[in-house]
Chains A and B, each alone.
Chain A
Amino acid sequence: MKRSFLADNPSVMWVLGILGLFALGVTVLAEGFGLALLSTSMVKILGMTLCLCLIAVAMDVVWGYCGILSLGHFAFFGLGGYAIGMWLMYARTEGIVTGSLANAPIPPTQGEIDDAIAGQIFGVVGSDELPMIWAFAHSLPLQLLLVVLVPGLLALVFGWLAFRSRVTGVYLSILTQAMTLALSLYLFQNDTGLRGNNGLSGLQNIPGLLHLPQSTIALWFFWASAAALGLGYVFFAWLVSDRFGSVIRAIRDNEARVRFLGYHVESYKLLIFTLTAIVSGLAGALYYPQAGIINPAEVAPIASIYLAVWVAIGGRGRLYGAVIGAALVSLASSWFTGGGAPDIDLGFYTINWTDWWLVLLGGGFVAVTLFFPRGIGGLFDYLVRKP
């Protein structure tokens, strides 16, 4: 009677297969490897889109399966990006500084090197000292650890406080919005030590790989993003299957009843909230080296709201729905706002899509909520009739 996990979840194999074919296709067409039909910037956009799909899958688990409408998951995404960005920026600046000081008549001391690095990074905010939080920035393994630990700990503490007080529904959503807003404002300050509104930049230059062309690096990050999405998808599909999946969906539908069955609801929510935050952080750590820059605006509340819109449009409570929603809407967004969509001349008024895209997205969101509550992913229900 007990069947294997993959046999029970045919959609996992479908998603992995399509993802594999897509990665293969992009590789063959990419500038850095094959036919050069896809520009490097396009490869980067596709790689970044895969990272957005990954955070959307995490969002679907926390919202679509467990019923926690978090409007703050992009905070974790941004924290992952900042954590990796600090190493990227530090290590690259260190390379430049040691290179330029190498020809000095007197060999520089370590202190002089440190001062020069700090001056390079923080000159823009009028400081020449490395803040405390950069203590680990010289070490890739430590910053990678922070990619996991910072979002994980923030989610753990925030979730523990919120869930134990039994804050649910819209109140919890507001709290998560407040969290991401507070984080964004905190990062905007120069005193925080993360270069204020300048953010971290030049992240596309990977220290140690500077001899490689961007076209190759872009492809490597694209593969890494595809692998991360594949692994993340399988992990979450496994997580939401079987009795654990039953319990979290039951929490979504009636958490009081689950308590009377003897399950400690808060522990389940906390586990889901923290795990999805960690995966969001990892997705961010893969995203920002492709984007090249991260600044506090990235963790503004609106980003997390978009995330919820993607998942709603794609279809809640089905992981592939989140992938479809995130890919479709974010690619459409860059097409419309990037000047790809032709303006429509109505004679008396010209619809300029950079301005009108948000209206279109808002309209689409309302239409999906009203007429297709199951989202785009719900269309598959018509194709696959379950016996």
Chain B
Amino acid sequence: MTTLLEVSGVSVTFDGFRAINNLSIQIAEPELRAVIGPNGAGKTTFMDIVTGKTRPDEGRVIWGEQSRSLVGMSESAIARAGIGRKFQKPTVFEHQTVRENLTMALKNARGPLHVLFDRQSGADARIVELAGEIGLSDDLPRRAGELSHGQKQWLEIGMLLAQDPRLLLVDEPAAGMTPTERAHTTDILKRAAQTRAVVVIEHDMEFVRRLKCKVTVLHEGSVLAEGSIDHVTANKEVIDVYLGR
């Protein structure tokens, strides 16, 4: 296990509100990591910083063997470097088919001229394989907008896998899912984490418990506790802030 992502001493302030306060997290490759914390703990802001949506006021975000700094890189360049992101609300392209959604995400050259002249990018076998993995084999020609909520979540996870990133940032993947769908989602994430780094942000303790992985608890923009789920849930401070006082 080597360190893939190193966030150190990062702080962000929005209009005087300190969303992230001297945050340091290290993610190894491969690894499955859950990040939990109450509302406003800075979980989503942490993802925004890593993916280039938000620029930190101070601190470093270091990526990969070459120790590249991600601060100041554009969102698209960070995505091409190998970081994929799944949003809290499923955001798939509803007017396009499942196949088109997956094709766009497939790891291929992204330059406009390349895309314009590359007409054989369908890579059918890979699309079919991915569709099988996320349980949408029969839905490839359907519009993404017609899918159920859970299926959209899976499609988005499928798009993430299609990007073949080294690090997956997954924001509340199980939100709004039925218990069976949750079990399936856990399987997909666990399998993905065998070869790459997966960071899951979650509210739902039961879901996190089932992931059986290292847990980082955020509170007020910094790390409160880190370790196994049993370790952090036994922590006095965590009980205070997370489980309510």
Contact A267 B115 (CB under 8 A): no
- Tell me whether A264 and B119 are in contact in the complex, defined as CB-CB below 8 angstroms, given that A1-B124, A250-B96 are known contacts: no
- Tell me whether A257 and B120 are in contact in the complex, defined as CB-CB below 8 angstroms, given that A243-B103, A250-B93, A267-B111 are known contacts: no
| B-chain residues with CB within 8 Å of residue A239 when the two chains form the complex | 116
Task: Check A244 for interface membership: any CB of B closer than 8 A.
Answer: yes
How many chain B residues sit at the interface, stated as a range, is 20 to 34
- Tell me whether A262 and B121 are in contact in the complex, defined as CB-CB below 8 angstroms, given that A246-B96, A257-B91, A271-B112 are known contacts: no
Interface flags for B111-142 (1: CB within 8 Å of A; 0: not) read 11101101111101000000000000000000
| CA A299 to CA B105, docked complex, whole Å | 41
- Tell me whether A247 and B115 are in contact in the complex, defined as CB-CB below 8 angstroms, given that A262-B163, A263-B110, A264-B110 are known contacts: yes
| A-chain residues with CB within 8 Å of residue B231 when the two chains form the complex | none
Chain B's closest residue to A254 (CB) is: B91
Interface flags for B64-76 (1: CB within 8 Å of A; 0: not) read 0000000000111
Task: Check B87 for interface membership: any CB of A closer than 8 A.
Answer: yes
Chain B's closest residue to A262 (CB) is: B79
Task: Check B196 for interface membership: any CB of A closer than 8 A.
Answer: no
Query: Of B76, B87, B111, which contacts A259 at CB under 8 A?
Result: B76
Task: Check A260 for interface membership: any CB of B closer than 8 A.
Answer: yes
| A-chain residues with CB within 8 Å of residue B95 when the two chains form the complex | 249, 253
Contact B115 A260 (CB under 8 A): no
Contact A250 B104 (CB under 8 A): yes
| B-chain residues with CB within 8 Å of residue A256 when the two chains form the complex | 53, 75
Chain B, 204-242, CB within 8 A of any chain A CB: none
Chain A's closest residue to B80 (CB) is: A262
Query: Of B51, B76, B85, B118, which contacts A243 at CB under 8 A?
Result: B118
| CA A239 to CA B115, docked complex, whole Å | 10
| B-chain residues with CB within 8 Å of residue A265 when the two chains form the complex | 76
Task: Check B94 for interface membership: any CB of A closer than 8 A.
Answer: yes
Task: Check B100 for interface membership: any CB of A closer than 8 A.
Answer: yes
Task: Check A343 for interface membership: any CB of B closer than 8 A.
Answer: no
Residue among B51, B74, B96, B119 with max Cβ neighbours from chain A (10 Å): B119
| CA A362 to CA B103, docked complex, whole Å | 41
Interface flags for A1-20 (1: CB within 8 Å of B; 0: not) read 11001000000000000000
Task: Check B159 for interface membership: any CB of A closer than 8 A.
Answer: yes
Chain A, 68-104, CB within 8 A of any chain B CB: none
Chain A, 35-92, CB within 8 A of any chain B CB: none
Contact B159 A261 (CB under 8 A): yes
| B-chain residues with CB within 8 Å of residue A259 when the two chains form the complex | 74-76, 79
| CA A256 to CA B91, docked complex, whole Å | 10
Residue among A1, A243, A247, A260 with max Cβ neighbours from chain B (10 Å): A260
Residue among B79, B103, B163 with max Cβ neighbours from chain A (10 Å): B79
Chain B's closest residue to A317 (CB) is: B95
| B-chain residues with CB within 8 Å of residue A253 when the two chains form the complex | 93-95
Contact A264 B74 (CB under 8 A): yes
Contact A254 B93 (CB under 8 A): yes
| CA A244 to CA B118, docked complex, whole Å | 9
| CA A22 to CA B103, docked complex, whole Å | 39
Cβ of B129 to closest chain A Cβ, rounded Å: 14
Query: Of B53, B116, B163, which contacts A261 at CB under 8 A?
Result: B163
Task: Check A268 for interface membership: any CB of B closer than 8 A.
Answer: yes
Task: Check A191 for interface membership: any CB of B closer than 8 A.
Answer: no
Contact A260 B116 (CB under 8 A): no
Contact A2 B76 (CB under 8 A): no
| CA A155 to CA B118, docked complex, whole Å | 25
Contact A2 B112 (CB under 8 A): no
| A-chain residues with CB within 8 Å of residue B104 when the two chains form the complex | 243, 246-247, 250, 261, 263
Task: Check A112 for interface membership: any CB of B closer than 8 A.
Answer: no
Contact B87 A244 (CB under 8 A): no
Query: Of B96, B105, B111, which contacts A249 at CB under 8 A?
Result: B96
| CA A259 to CA B84, docked complex, whole Å | 11
Chain A's closest residue to B159 (CB) is: A261
Interface flags for A262-303 (1: CB within 8 Å of B; 0: not) read 111101100100000000000000000000000000000000
Closest 8 CB pairs of A and B: A262-B79, A259-B75, A262-B80, A264-B76, A244-B116, A246-B100, A250-B93, A271-B112
Q: What would be 10 A-B contacts, judged by CB atoms less than 8 Å apart?
A: A243-B118, A244-B116, A250-B96, A253-B94, A256-B53, A259-B74, A260-B79, A260-B85, A267-B112, A271-B113
Residues of A within 8 A of B (CB): 1-2, 5, 239, 242-244, 246-247, 249-250, 253-254, 256-257, 259-265, 267-268, 271
Residues of B within 8 A of A (CB): 51, 53, 74-77, 79-80, 84-85, 87, 91, 93-96, 100, 103-105, 110-113, 115-116, 118-122, 124, 159, 163
Q: Given known contacts A2-B122, A250-B93, A260-B75, what 18 new A-B pairs fall within 8 Å (CB)?
A: A246-B96, A247-B104, A249-B95, A250-B96, A250-B104, A253-B93, A257-B87, A257-B93, A259-B75, A259-B79, A260-B76, A261-B76, A261-B79, A261-B104, A262-B76, A264-B76, A264-B110, A265-B76
